[in-house]
């Protein structure tokens, strides 16, 4: 939530912000690999637990930092999940 709130602080012209954090891999702890958290905040609207969502990716973790295809798949899956959450919030 703090990430999304910071966006609104830094961009006074914005009325809504979204933030994403988590572990896309490689090298994430096995219990946290592919685990993400989203937050959506609107200016002037009180935040609630409904503004935050936990997500578990289903695609395989990249083998290493040079695994650009694996990283791209994970990034695409994370982006799609965030956009779906954002759409549900607005």
- Enumerate the domain spans of the chain: 2-89
H or E element in which residue 82 lies: helix 68-89
pLDDT digits (tens, 9 = 90+) for 27-74: 888 899 999 999 999 998 887 878 899 999 998 888 888 888 988 999
- The pLDDT assigned to 60 comes to 84
Query: What is the DSSP annotation of 38-78?
Result: EEEEETTS---GGGEEEEE--SPPPSSTT-HHHHHHHHHHH
Q: What is the pLDDT of residue 66?
A: 86
pLDDT at position 44: 87
């Amino acid at each position: 939530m703090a990430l999304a709130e910071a966006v609104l602080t830094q961009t006074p012209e914005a009325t809504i912000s979204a933030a994403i954090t988590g572990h896309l891999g490689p090298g994430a702890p096995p219990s946290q690999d592919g685990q993400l958290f989203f937050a959506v905040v609107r200016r002037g609207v009180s935040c609630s637990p409904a503004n935050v969502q936990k997500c578990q990716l289903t695609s395989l973790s990249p083998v290493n930092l040079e695994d650009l295809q694996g990283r791209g798949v994970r990034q695409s899956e994370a982006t799609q999940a965030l956009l779906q959450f954002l759409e549900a919030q607005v």
